[in-house]
Structure 1
Amino acid sequence: MAWAQKGRVALGATLGTLWTVGLTLPPYLLSRAIDDDLAPGWVLALLGAGLVNAWLAMMRHRTMTKIRMDANFRTVRALVEQINTLGADLNRRACWSAPVPRRAWRCWRASAASTARR
């Protein structure tokens, strides 16, 4: 499923990496701003780094949500196609009382595994 949306996965990985690296900037900029008696340049740099990092975090979360949802929809589509392929024979092959929730859970786990989330 990740292969089907490799561009989106690459974007999510890039945004996640930039966001994680961006988390290291505010402490450095804050220490420089304090050492220079709150010089306006350092304060503006700190504000700018915070805004850019917040935007990166938002875009990373949005991208990963799209990846997760697309994987979920693809999994459900494959499951429905298989059910339609089996057709009337499905009733003879499966007991629907207990396996349905387990199958739905497996479907959800398969889509969640594509984004390495718990």
Structure 2
Amino acid sequence: RIRPEVSSWAAYGPGLATTLVPSLVAVWVDAHWPRPLLLGAAALVLTVLGARSRLKAPLLMGGCTAALVAVHELAPHVVQVAGLLPRWVPPAAAGVLLLLVGATYERRLREARRLRRAVGRMR
């Protein structure tokens, strides 16, 4: 980024998308473990660097990539565990989760607004 007035989306977005999207597609169709591990580590580093340098594009693209890699890697295990549980446990867990989120709604709303302002101040 040569000019500081240029947003990080304009400066880094196309390059990051060109790198991360094909790698993410390759991870979702690949059955081996090294590619997801490397992409997840790269996404984590990108997220940390984006947060430290206060740049939106690396932070959000790295975070989304890391989350999608994690979902891809954890989904088979979650399905396997969910198949072993009695049928009433998932609805009960969802009810408890809704109860906890509802009880702390105001605090979570303040945190979400604060997070939105913090991300909005980034370039």
TM-score by length of structure 2 reads 0.32
TM-score by length of structure 1 reads 0.33
Q: Which has the higher contact order (CA 8 A, sep 6+)?
A: 1
Larger radius of gyration: 1
